[in-house]
Structure 1
């Protein structure tokens, strides 16, 4: 394969790369010159010093980059839905981009907590690695579709909901809320409850989607599962993988930003346990897979407990053992 910018998708990726490079350079200049002091409005301000225009330029470029990122995501899900590399990679890039914006804003509001500072730094590195990979991969793999496929949007929504296994998600949220109440030793606040359950739902839905992606070939051979979206071919393999990875990554940003770092890490551990340990290994290695793999389903109450307390003690481990 030869690298080429013949497709509109590859060209858009390159434009996004150049725009983000300009945003990064402008942001660094704002930091070095202290330009933020001369333009304190958001997203627009009236600079009272020439350096203020530098910050205004940085915010303008960031806005352009956000629009480009949204358009690229839309284009990927419309035109690259069969591409096993491009669609998941673009989705991950988009989640990290907007996650970076979210974490950057929240860490300022919360006076730069260490876990968000670390997450912001790691996201920056991962974002640039992903972007460089996408620039290269899009020049090799992207295809142009002059006319988008005629898809039933209502059916697709139903299929994506089915991919997340909403019944299982609901059951896991019940145990999450139980851990939240026990940890708080009272009725937790609406805000804490909302963000914990949203993050938990996204994590559980993402894990379920990844599980169906892994089991898609097996599902085709069983009557009970043959009509699942991936097994039946209503969604492409790339869509299933991208959807699962996207939800899982969003869940981490939500929990880390609005709950706490420990809850986010526990949720991530649950995803890894279920997807890698259970779905990829145990399910094919031993008939005891459900018993051992059940540990993944016992993590949500620990997430709730950690969300309320910011720590784990013997009570949290008892909840894990009970489930």
Structure 2
């Protein structure tokens, strides 16, 4: 009887050295320059507009980790965003903590919520997974509407601290600086994931999940990791929301604009790269902020729809894909 050799299961190739520390340092430098530039402007509106745009940078980048890298479309971005916002309300009311600890708690809540979503939807794919995440948003909104401790349907007023951390002159400037750091960290995390073994596994899962499983890629584990990281980052994006306007209520926190923008921004910028959500978020959020000032905030979703249709027709792979095709 001849010996038979069982071939070893293929493994993911080792990722190339991509200079993660250098990119993190570059991100920190860009964040510092941005903070100094905004402080030089010193305008309250500039702080508000920048915070608005940066929130979407974090949200779109977080969505792209699961929706872009792994190919699982998440319609529940508003649920995670609102979970972060209401974590700030609940923790601030219960423990009286400042913004930074609340952001840490929001990341924890979002991560646990993302992990739970991944566990409950392990075998769901495509449209079924998208519908499940949409149901999550409805369930969470119902819970918040009936939770009097965080204001329920009336909403909650959040008083900003009187003391402003040094060296900032206003709390709006401090809040904007925090969002600059969060946005830089989110982009650096996304790039690190994209260039790592985790990113290679998520790409295999996105291209053909059945083939990836047959090749020995731990697709279920990768999905749980992606949902956890994505959920934590989306909650972090929403954590500063109550302090941005000093008021938060369910209809705004769970607003359709967050769910739509979280999907549209990576699609417009390009879902295959860490830079795509960044470009799409800056472009779309800037247009929406300009429309709010000059026309009306009601035109925001119309702008998203028009820009999305244009890019779907002219550049289906987003701005990043358009430039890659021209090379």
TM range (shorter): under 0.3
Structure-1-length-normalised TM-score: 0.27
Q: TM-score, normalised by structure 2?
A: 0.27
Q: Looking at both structures, which has the greater relative contact order when contacts are Cα pairs under 8 Å and sequence separation is at least 6?
A: 2
Larger radius of gyration: 1
